[in-house]
Protein backbone atom coordinates (compact mmCIF):
# COMPACT_ATOMS: atom_id res chain seq x y z
CA UNK A 1 0.00 0.00 0.00
CA UNK A 2 2.86 2.32 0.88
CA UNK A 3 4.50 1.61 -2.50
CA UNK A 4 1.22 2.38 -4.29
CA UNK A 5 0.93 5.67 -2.39
CA UNK A 6 4.48 6.66 -3.31
CA UNK A 7 3.85 5.73 -6.95
CA UNK A 8 0.58 7.71 -7.07
CA UNK A 9 2.24 10.71 -5.44
CA UNK A 10 5.14 10.54 -7.86
CA UNK A 11 2.80 10.19 -10.88
CA UNK A 12 0.61 13.09 -9.79
CA UNK A 13 3.63 15.29 -9.10
CA UNK A 14 5.10 14.53 -12.51
CA UNK A 15 1.72 15.20 -14.17
CA UNK A 16 1.42 18.62 -12.53
CA UNK A 17 5.09 19.38 -13.07
CA UNK A 18 4.88 18.57 -16.77
CA UNK A 19 2.03 21.05 -17.18
CA UNK A 20 3.82 23.82 -15.33
CA UNK A 21 7.05 23.11 -17.17
CA UNK A 22 5.33 23.28 -20.56
CA UNK A 23 4.04 26.76 -19.76
CA UNK A 24 6.98 28.26 -17.87
CA UNK A 25 9.50 26.94 -20.37
CA UNK A 26 8.15 29.22 -23.10
CA UNK A 27 5.74 31.89 -21.80
CA UNK A 28 6.15 34.73 -19.28
CA UNK A 29 4.96 34.16 -15.72
CA UNK A 30 2.29 36.86 -16.17
CA UNK A 31 0.57 34.80 -18.88
CA UNK A 32 -2.71 33.14 -17.85
CA UNK A 33 -3.87 29.93 -19.47
CA UNK A 34 -6.43 27.15 -19.50
CA UNK A 35 -5.32 23.93 -21.17
CA UNK A 36 -7.15 20.67 -21.74
CA UNK A 37 -6.33 17.45 -23.57
CA UNK A 38 -8.77 14.55 -23.43
CA UNK A 39 -8.92 11.33 -25.41
CA UNK A 40 -12.07 10.64 -27.40
CA UNK A 41 -12.80 7.90 -24.85
CA UNK A 42 -13.13 10.51 -22.09
CA UNK A 43 -9.74 10.18 -20.39
CA UNK A 44 -8.51 13.63 -19.36
CA UNK A 45 -4.73 13.48 -19.69
CA UNK A 46 -3.77 17.11 -19.34
CA UNK A 47 -5.71 19.94 -17.68
CA UNK A 48 -5.19 23.31 -16.08
CA UNK A 49 -7.66 26.01 -15.05
CA UNK A 50 -10.36 24.34 -17.11
CA UNK A 51 -13.22 25.78 -15.03
CA UNK A 52 -11.95 29.36 -15.09
CA UNK A 53 -13.48 31.85 -17.51
CA UNK A 54 -11.47 33.22 -20.45
CA UNK A 55 -12.27 35.32 -23.54
CA UNK A 56 -12.93 32.64 -26.18
CA UNK A 57 -12.35 34.92 -29.18
CA UNK A 58 -13.25 33.12 -32.41
CA UNK A 59 -13.40 29.67 -30.80
CA UNK A 60 -16.93 30.87 -29.90
CA UNK A 61 -17.81 30.18 -33.55
CA UNK A 62 -17.87 26.47 -32.62
CA UNK A 63 -20.95 27.21 -30.48
CA UNK A 64 -22.51 29.23 -33.28
CA UNK A 65 -21.89 26.48 -35.83
CA UNK A 66 -23.34 23.71 -33.65
CA UNK A 67 -26.44 25.68 -32.61
CA UNK A 68 -27.07 26.76 -36.22
CA UNK A 69 -26.94 23.15 -37.37
CA UNK A 70 -29.33 22.09 -34.62
CA UNK A 71 -31.80 24.97 -34.98
CA UNK A 72 -31.66 26.16 -38.61
CA UNK A 73 -30.73 22.94 -40.40
CA UNK A 74 -28.78 22.30 -43.59
CA UNK A 75 -31.55 23.60 -45.85
CA UNK A 76 -31.51 27.05 -44.27
CA UNK A 77 -30.76 29.99 -46.55
CA UNK A 78 -31.09 33.73 -46.06
CA UNK A 79 -33.84 35.07 -48.33
CA UNK A 80 -33.98 38.47 -50.03
CA UNK A 81 -37.37 39.08 -51.65
CA UNK A 82 -38.53 41.80 -54.02
CA UNK A 83 -42.27 42.35 -53.69
CA UNK A 84 -44.74 44.83 -55.09
CA UNK A 85 -47.15 46.62 -52.78
CA UNK A 86 -49.68 48.52 -54.90
CA UNK A 87 -47.48 51.07 -56.72
CA UNK A 88 -44.49 50.53 -54.39
CA UNK A 89 -41.63 48.05 -54.38
CA UNK A 90 -40.57 46.43 -51.10
CA UNK A 91 -37.26 44.60 -50.70
CA UNK A 92 -37.31 42.35 -47.64
CA UNK A 93 -33.77 41.84 -46.35
CA UNK A 94 -33.00 39.04 -43.89
CA UNK A 95 -29.34 39.63 -43.09
CA UNK A 96 -27.85 37.62 -45.96
CA UNK A 97 -24.09 38.08 -45.39
CA UNK A 98 -23.32 36.95 -48.95
CA UNK A 99 -25.75 39.28 -50.78
CA UNK A 100 -23.98 41.39 -53.41
CA UNK A 101 -24.75 44.36 -55.60
CA UNK A 102 -25.01 41.95 -58.54
CA UNK A 103 -27.60 39.83 -56.71
CA UNK A 104 -29.71 42.92 -56.04
CA UNK A 105 -29.31 43.99 -59.66
CA UNK A 106 -30.77 40.66 -60.81
CA UNK A 107 -33.83 41.17 -58.60
CA UNK A 108 -34.52 44.50 -60.29
CA UNK A 109 -33.90 42.98 -63.73
CA UNK A 110 -36.59 40.44 -62.93
CA UNK A 111 -38.93 43.28 -61.97
CA UNK A 112 -38.19 45.07 -65.23
CA UNK A 113 -38.80 41.91 -67.28
CA UNK A 114 -42.08 41.28 -65.46
CA UNK A 115 -43.58 44.74 -64.91
CA UNK A 116 -41.60 47.14 -67.06
CA UNK A 117 -39.06 49.85 -66.40
CA UNK A 118 -41.19 52.23 -64.32
CA UNK A 119 -41.82 52.12 -60.58
CA UNK A 120 -44.67 54.55 -59.96
CA UNK A 121 -44.35 54.71 -56.18
CA UNK A 122 -41.53 54.33 -53.65
CA UNK A 123 -38.92 51.68 -52.97
CA UNK A 124 -38.88 50.39 -49.40
CA UNK A 125 -35.82 48.66 -47.96
CA UNK A 126 -37.20 46.52 -45.15
CA UNK A 127 -34.73 46.13 -42.27
CA UNK A 128 -37.19 44.72 -39.72
CA UNK A 129 -35.63 41.22 -39.57
CA UNK A 130 -33.06 42.45 -37.02
CA UNK A 131 -33.23 44.98 -34.21
CA UNK A 132 -30.95 46.43 -31.55
CA UNK A 133 -27.24 47.11 -31.78
CA UNK A 134 -25.46 46.59 -35.09
CA UNK A 135 -22.14 46.30 -33.23
CA UNK A 136 -22.06 44.18 -30.12
CA UNK A 137 -21.16 45.44 -26.67
CA UNK A 138 -17.45 44.95 -26.08
CA UNK A 139 -16.28 45.36 -29.66
CA UNK A 140 -13.08 47.44 -29.53
CA UNK A 141 -13.87 50.96 -30.77
CA UNK A 142 -10.55 51.31 -32.59
CA UNK A 143 -11.27 48.48 -35.08
CA UNK A 144 -14.83 49.39 -36.02
CA UNK A 145 -13.68 50.84 -39.34
CA UNK A 146 -12.14 47.60 -40.62
CA UNK A 147 -14.05 44.77 -42.24
CA UNK A 148 -13.64 42.02 -39.67
CA UNK A 149 -15.81 44.17 -37.40
CA UNK A 150 -18.40 45.04 -40.07
CA UNK A 151 -21.81 45.78 -38.49
CA UNK A 152 -24.34 42.96 -38.27
CA UNK A 153 -27.46 44.23 -40.05
CA UNK A 154 -30.61 43.00 -41.75
CA UNK A 155 -29.72 45.13 -44.77
CA UNK A 156 -26.34 43.62 -45.56
CA UNK A 157 -24.80 44.21 -48.98
CA UNK A 158 -21.33 43.38 -50.31
CA UNK A 159 -20.44 41.90 -46.92
CA UNK A 160 -20.73 45.44 -45.47
CA UNK A 161 -17.18 45.88 -46.67
CA UNK A 162 -15.41 47.94 -49.35
CA UNK A 163 -11.91 47.18 -50.57
CA UNK A 164 -9.40 49.94 -51.21
CA UNK A 165 -5.69 50.69 -51.21
CA UNK A 166 -3.29 53.43 -50.15
CA UNK A 167 -0.43 54.65 -52.34
CA UNK A 168 2.71 56.37 -51.06
CA UNK A 169 3.80 59.31 -53.23
CA UNK A 170 7.23 60.79 -53.81
CA UNK A 171 6.26 64.14 -52.26
CA UNK A 172 5.75 62.57 -48.84
CA UNK A 173 1.98 62.39 -49.18
CA UNK A 174 -0.43 59.55 -49.87
CA UNK A 175 -3.55 58.91 -51.86
CA UNK A 176 -6.30 56.36 -51.32
CA UNK A 177 -8.13 54.48 -54.06
CA UNK A 178 -11.55 52.84 -53.75
CA UNK A 179 -13.49 51.59 -56.79
CA UNK A 180 -15.81 54.37 -57.91
CA UNK A 181 -18.89 52.13 -57.92
CA UNK A 182 -18.86 51.98 -54.12
CA UNK A 183 -20.63 54.93 -52.44
CA UNK A 184 -18.09 55.75 -49.74
CA UNK A 185 -15.65 58.66 -49.38
CA UNK A 186 -12.11 58.10 -48.12
CA UNK A 187 -9.62 60.91 -47.44
CA UNK A 188 -5.99 60.66 -46.40
CA UNK A 189 -3.76 62.88 -44.29
CA UNK A 190 -1.19 60.13 -43.92
CA UNK A 191 2.48 61.17 -44.15
CA UNK A 192 5.21 59.07 -45.71
CA UNK A 193 8.12 58.68 -43.28
CA UNK A 194 11.26 56.61 -42.91
CA UNK A 195 11.41 53.47 -40.79
CA UNK A 196 13.53 55.32 -38.24
CA UNK A 197 11.15 58.29 -38.05
CA UNK A 198 8.15 56.05 -37.60
CA UNK A 199 9.93 54.18 -34.83
CA UNK A 200 10.93 57.26 -32.87
CA UNK A 201 7.72 59.25 -33.31
CA UNK A 202 5.44 56.25 -32.61
CA UNK A 203 3.35 57.44 -35.53
CA UNK A 204 0.97 54.75 -36.82
CA UNK A 205 -1.77 54.48 -39.42
CA UNK A 206 -5.14 55.47 -37.92
CA UNK A 207 -8.67 55.29 -39.31
CA UNK A 208 -11.75 57.24 -38.22
CA UNK A 209 -15.20 57.03 -39.78
CA UNK A 210 -18.69 58.49 -39.45
CA UNK A 211 -22.29 57.54 -40.09
CA UNK A 212 -22.20 59.01 -43.62
CA UNK A 213 -19.69 56.36 -44.71
CA UNK A 214 -16.90 58.92 -44.75
CA UNK A 215 -13.46 57.71 -43.72
CA UNK A 216 -10.32 59.62 -42.74
CA UNK A 217 -6.85 58.10 -42.61
CA UNK A 218 -4.29 59.81 -40.39
CA UNK A 219 -0.82 59.10 -39.12
CA UNK A 220 2.25 57.75 -40.85
CA UNK A 221 3.29 55.05 -43.27
CA UNK A 222 6.66 54.02 -44.63
CA UNK A 223 7.38 54.12 -48.37
CA UNK A 224 5.78 51.22 -50.22
CA UNK A 225 6.81 49.85 -53.60
CA UNK A 226 3.22 48.71 -54.20
CA UNK A 227 -0.11 49.91 -52.81
CA UNK A 228 -1.12 48.70 -49.37
CA UNK A 229 -4.52 46.90 -49.44
CA UNK A 230 -7.22 48.28 -47.14
CA UNK A 231 -10.70 47.11 -46.16
CA UNK A 232 -13.32 49.58 -44.94
CA UNK A 233 -16.30 48.38 -42.90
CA UNK A 234 -19.48 50.10 -44.07
CA UNK A 235 -20.61 52.18 -41.10
CA UNK A 236 -24.15 52.87 -42.33
CA UNK A 237 -25.33 49.84 -44.33
CA UNK A 238 -28.82 51.32 -44.87
CA UNK A 239 -27.37 54.44 -46.50
CA UNK A 240 -24.94 52.31 -48.51
CA UNK A 241 -27.77 50.08 -49.79
CA UNK A 242 -29.94 53.11 -50.60
CA UNK A 243 -27.25 54.60 -52.79
CA UNK A 244 -26.61 51.25 -54.44
CA UNK A 245 -30.30 50.86 -55.30
CA UNK A 246 -30.30 54.32 -56.90
CA UNK A 247 -27.27 53.18 -58.90
CA UNK A 248 -29.13 50.04 -60.02
CA UNK A 249 -32.15 52.08 -61.12
CA UNK A 250 -29.88 54.29 -63.22
CA UNK A 251 -27.89 51.42 -64.68
CA UNK A 252 -31.08 49.62 -65.78
CA UNK A 253 -32.56 52.83 -67.21
CA UNK A 254 -35.53 52.48 -64.92
CA UNK A 255 -37.68 55.35 -63.69
CA UNK A 256 -38.62 55.83 -60.05
CA UNK A 257 -41.67 57.98 -59.35
CA UNK A 258 -41.09 58.27 -55.60
CA UNK A 259 -38.17 57.92 -53.17
CA UNK A 260 -36.22 55.18 -51.43
CA UNK A 261 -37.09 54.67 -47.78
CA UNK A 262 -35.92 52.41 -44.98
CA UNK A 263 -38.81 50.40 -43.51
CA UNK A 264 -42.10 49.11 -44.88
CA UNK A 265 -45.26 50.83 -46.19
CA UNK A 266 -48.29 51.04 -43.89
CA UNK A 267 -50.67 49.29 -46.26
CA UNK A 268 -49.58 45.74 -47.04
CA UNK A 269 -50.89 43.98 -50.10
CA UNK A 270 -47.73 42.38 -51.39
CA UNK A 271 -46.95 40.13 -54.33
CA UNK A 272 -43.65 38.30 -54.76
CA UNK A 273 -41.80 39.22 -57.96
CA UNK A 274 -38.32 37.80 -57.37
CA UNK A 275 -36.30 36.12 -54.65
CA UNK A 276 -32.60 35.57 -54.03
CA UNK A 277 -31.38 32.81 -51.71
CA UNK A 278 -27.97 32.75 -50.10
CA UNK A 279 -25.82 29.62 -50.15
CA UNK A 280 -27.24 26.99 -47.78
CA UNK A 281 -26.07 26.65 -44.19
CA UNK A 282 -23.21 24.13 -44.76
CA UNK A 283 -21.59 26.51 -47.26
CA UNK A 284 -22.01 29.47 -44.89
CA UNK A 285 -20.50 27.51 -42.00
CA UNK A 286 -17.61 26.33 -44.16
CA UNK A 287 -16.64 29.94 -44.86
CA UNK A 288 -17.36 31.04 -41.30
CA UNK A 289 -15.10 28.39 -39.77
CA UNK A 290 -12.32 28.22 -42.33
CA UNK A 291 -11.98 32.00 -42.78
CA UNK A 292 -13.23 32.92 -39.30
CA UNK A 293 -15.86 35.17 -40.87
CA UNK A 294 -17.37 37.38 -38.16
CA UNK A 295 -20.26 38.78 -40.20
CA UNK A 296 -21.60 35.33 -41.10
CA UNK A 297 -21.34 34.27 -37.45
CA UNK A 298 -23.15 37.35 -36.15
CA UNK A 299 -25.91 37.34 -38.77
CA UNK A 300 -26.52 33.64 -38.16
CA UNK A 301 -26.74 34.41 -34.44
CA UNK A 302 -29.41 37.04 -35.04
CA UNK A 303 -31.23 34.70 -37.45
CA UNK A 304 -31.35 32.08 -34.68
CA UNK A 305 -32.68 34.66 -32.24
CA UNK A 306 -35.38 35.59 -34.75
CA UNK A 307 -36.48 32.00 -35.30
CA UNK A 308 -36.16 30.78 -31.71
CA UNK A 309 -37.99 33.69 -30.06
CA UNK A 310 -40.28 34.56 -33.03
CA UNK A 311 -39.28 38.22 -32.99
CA UNK A 312 -36.68 40.39 -34.73
CA UNK A 313 -33.21 38.99 -34.18
CA UNK A 314 -30.63 40.77 -32.05
CA UNK A 315 -27.35 40.09 -30.33
CA UNK A 316 -29.25 39.70 -27.04
CA UNK A 317 -31.85 37.15 -28.15
CA UNK A 318 -29.43 35.48 -30.58
CA UNK A 319 -26.85 34.63 -27.93
CA UNK A 320 -29.61 33.54 -25.54
CA UNK A 321 -30.97 31.34 -28.32
CA UNK A 322 -27.55 29.70 -28.68
CA UNK A 323 -27.59 28.85 -24.96
CA UNK A 324 -31.14 27.51 -25.06
CA UNK A 325 -30.59 25.49 -28.25
CA UNK A 326 -27.44 23.84 -26.91
CA UNK A 327 -29.16 23.06 -23.60
CA UNK A 328 -32.40 21.63 -25.01
CA UNK A 329 -31.01 19.87 -28.08
CA UNK A 330 -27.51 18.88 -26.99
CA UNK A 331 -27.66 18.85 -23.19
CA UNK A 332 -24.84 21.43 -22.96
CA UNK A 333 -25.34 23.83 -20.04
CA UNK A 334 -23.87 27.26 -20.75
CA UNK A 335 -25.95 29.14 -18.17
CA UNK A 336 -22.82 30.47 -16.45
CA UNK A 337 -21.15 31.55 -19.70
CA UNK A 338 -21.13 35.13 -20.93
CA UNK A 339 -22.07 35.37 -24.61
CA UNK A 340 -22.41 38.79 -26.24
CA UNK A 341 -22.07 37.93 -29.93
CA UNK A 342 -21.77 34.87 -32.13
CA UNK A 343 -18.36 35.68 -33.58
CA UNK A 344 -16.24 36.00 -30.45
CA UNK A 345 -15.17 39.53 -31.39
CA UNK A 346 -16.49 41.05 -28.16
CA UNK A 347 -14.04 41.22 -25.30
CA UNK A 348 -16.97 40.64 -22.94
CA UNK A 349 -17.47 36.99 -23.96
CA UNK A 350 -16.39 34.43 -21.35
CA UNK A 351 -16.25 30.63 -21.58
CA UNK A 352 -14.42 27.87 -19.75
CA UNK A 353 -12.29 25.25 -21.43
CA UNK A 354 -14.69 22.57 -20.13
CA UNK A 355 -17.65 24.32 -21.78
CA UNK A 356 -15.87 24.47 -25.14
CA UNK A 357 -14.78 20.84 -24.72
CA UNK A 358 -18.41 19.80 -24.20
CA UNK A 359 -19.24 21.34 -27.58
CA UNK A 360 -16.30 19.54 -29.21
CA UNK A 361 -17.42 16.21 -27.72
CA UNK A 362 -20.98 16.61 -28.98
CA UNK A 363 -19.78 17.54 -32.48
CA UNK A 364 -17.54 14.48 -32.58
CA UNK A 365 -20.18 12.11 -31.25
CA UNK A 366 -22.82 13.28 -33.74
CA UNK A 367 -20.62 14.22 -36.67
CA UNK A 368 -22.28 11.72 -39.00
CA UNK A 369 -25.40 13.89 -38.85
CA UNK A 370 -23.76 17.27 -38.23
CA UNK A 371 -20.88 17.12 -40.74
CA UNK A 372 -19.01 19.92 -38.93
CA UNK A 373 -15.58 18.27 -38.59
CA UNK A 374 -14.80 18.60 -42.30
CA UNK A 375 -15.53 22.34 -42.12
CA UNK A 376 -12.72 23.01 -39.63
CA UNK A 377 -9.31 24.28 -40.76
CA UNK A 378 -6.53 21.69 -40.91
CA UNK A 379 -3.03 22.40 -39.57
CA UNK A 380 -0.73 23.62 -42.33
CA UNK A 381 -3.29 22.86 -45.04
CA UNK A 382 -6.44 24.98 -44.96
CA UNK A 383 -8.22 28.01 -43.57
CA UNK A 384 -6.76 30.07 -40.76
CA UNK A 385 -4.37 27.22 -39.84
CA UNK A 386 -2.72 26.96 -43.25
CA UNK A 387 0.01 29.51 -42.56
CA UNK A 388 0.04 29.57 -38.74
CA UNK A 389 3.72 29.15 -37.90
CA UNK A 390 3.20 26.65 -35.07
CA UNK A 391 1.10 24.48 -37.39
CA UNK A 392 3.74 24.19 -40.11
CA UNK A 393 6.04 21.85 -38.22
CA UNK A 394 6.15 18.64 -40.25
CA UNK A 395 5.09 16.58 -37.24
CA UNK A 396 1.92 18.69 -36.92
CA UNK A 397 0.86 19.34 -40.53
CA UNK A 398 -2.41 17.53 -41.20
CA UNK A 399 -2.67 16.24 -37.62
CA UNK A 400 -4.84 19.00 -36.08
CA UNK A 401 -8.39 20.14 -36.95
CA UNK A 402 -9.32 23.20 -34.95
CA UNK A 403 -10.82 26.65 -34.68
CA UNK A 404 -8.39 29.40 -33.76
CA UNK A 405 -9.24 32.61 -31.95
CA UNK A 406 -7.31 35.76 -31.18
CA UNK A 407 -8.03 39.04 -29.45
CA UNK A 408 -5.73 41.57 -27.84
CA UNK A 409 -3.55 39.44 -25.57
CA UNK A 410 -5.54 36.24 -26.22
CA UNK A 411 -4.32 33.35 -28.37
CA UNK A 412 -6.74 30.42 -28.42
CA UNK A 413 -7.31 27.12 -30.17
CA UNK A 414 -9.92 24.40 -29.79
CA UNK A 415 -10.35 21.22 -31.77
CA UNK A 416 -9.06 17.72 -32.37
CA UNK A 417 -5.77 15.88 -32.57
CA UNK A 418 -5.79 13.34 -35.42
CA UNK A 419 -4.17 9.96 -35.82
CA UNK A 420 -2.07 9.06 -38.86
CA UNK A 421 -5.25 8.18 -40.77
CA UNK A 422 -6.81 11.58 -40.10
CA UNK A 423 -9.31 10.36 -37.51
CA UNK A 424 -9.83 12.31 -34.25
CA UNK A 425 -8.16 10.71 -31.24
CA UNK A 426 -8.02 13.64 -28.82
CA UNK A 427 -10.01 16.76 -27.95
CA UNK A 428 -8.13 19.84 -26.83
CA UNK A 429 -8.69 23.44 -25.74
CA UNK A 430 -6.03 26.13 -25.49
CA UNK A 431 -6.86 29.47 -23.88
CA UNK A 432 -3.88 31.80 -23.55
CA UNK A 433 -4.42 35.35 -22.35
CA UNK A 434 -2.35 38.28 -21.10
CA UNK A 435 0.45 37.33 -23.46
CA UNK A 436 1.93 40.26 -25.39
CA UNK A 437 4.85 39.54 -27.73
CA UNK A 438 7.93 41.66 -27.08
CA UNK A 439 9.22 43.12 -30.32
CA UNK A 440 12.15 45.15 -29.03
CA UNK A 441 15.42 43.27 -28.67
CA UNK A 442 14.19 39.83 -29.62
CA UNK A 443 16.86 37.63 -31.18
CA UNK A 444 16.44 34.77 -33.59
CA UNK A 445 17.22 32.35 -30.74
CA UNK A 446 14.45 33.78 -28.56
CA UNK A 447 11.91 34.51 -31.28
CA UNK A 448 8.22 33.78 -30.92
CA UNK A 449 7.78 32.18 -27.46
CA UNK A 450 4.10 31.58 -28.27
CA UNK A 451 4.95 29.68 -31.44
CA UNK A 452 7.41 27.50 -29.53
CA UNK A 453 4.86 26.84 -26.79
CA UNK A 454 2.13 25.97 -29.29
CA UNK A 455 4.41 23.64 -31.24
CA UNK A 456 5.27 21.75 -28.05
CA UNK A 457 1.61 21.66 -26.96
CA UNK A 458 0.34 20.42 -30.32
CA UNK A 459 2.97 17.69 -30.43
CA UNK A 460 1.77 16.63 -26.98
CA UNK A 461 -1.81 16.50 -28.33
CA UNK A 462 -0.77 14.35 -31.29
CA UNK A 463 1.30 11.98 -29.13
CA UNK A 464 -1.43 11.48 -26.51
CA UNK A 465 -2.97 8.01 -26.60
CA distances for 433 relative to 16, 175, 268, 282, 408, angstroms? 20, 38, 53, 31, 8
Helical segments of 204-272, H only: 237-251
Query: 39 Cβ partners below 8 Å, 6+ apart?
Result: 45, 425, 426, 427, 464, 465
Q: How far apart are CA 410 and CA 31, in angstroms?
A: 10
Other C-beta atoms closer than 10 Å to the C-beta of 205 total 16
Catalytic residue, chosen from 149, 292, 343, 390, is 292
Q: How far apart are CA 67 and CA 300, in angstroms?
A: 10
Burial zone of 89 (CB within 10 Å; 0-12 exposed, 13-18 middle, 19+ buried) = buried
DSSP code for 198: H
Residue 339: closest CA among 330, 327, 329: 327
Q: How far apart are CA 212 and CA 226, in angstroms?
A: 29
* Radius of gyration, alpha carbons of the chain: 25
User: Is 58 a residue of the active site?
Assistant: yes
User: Is 444 a residue of the active site?
Assistant: no
Catalytic residue, chosen from 47, 58, 152, 314, is 58
Catalytic residue, chosen from 33, 47, 61, 302, is 61
Catalytic residues: 58, 61, 292
Amino acid sequence: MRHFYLFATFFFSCHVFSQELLLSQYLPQSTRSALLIETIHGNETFSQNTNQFFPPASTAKLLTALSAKLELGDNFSFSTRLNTNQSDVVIHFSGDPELTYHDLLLLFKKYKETLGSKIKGNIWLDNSAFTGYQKAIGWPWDILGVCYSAPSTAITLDHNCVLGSIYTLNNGKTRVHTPEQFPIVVSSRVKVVSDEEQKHTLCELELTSDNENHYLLNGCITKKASPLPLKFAVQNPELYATRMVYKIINNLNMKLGGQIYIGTPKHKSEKLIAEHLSPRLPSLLNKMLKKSDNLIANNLTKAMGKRFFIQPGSFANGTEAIKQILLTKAGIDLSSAQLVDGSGLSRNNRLTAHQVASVLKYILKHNKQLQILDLLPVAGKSGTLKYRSSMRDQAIVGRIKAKSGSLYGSHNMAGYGLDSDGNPKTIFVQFITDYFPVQEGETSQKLHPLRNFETAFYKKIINTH
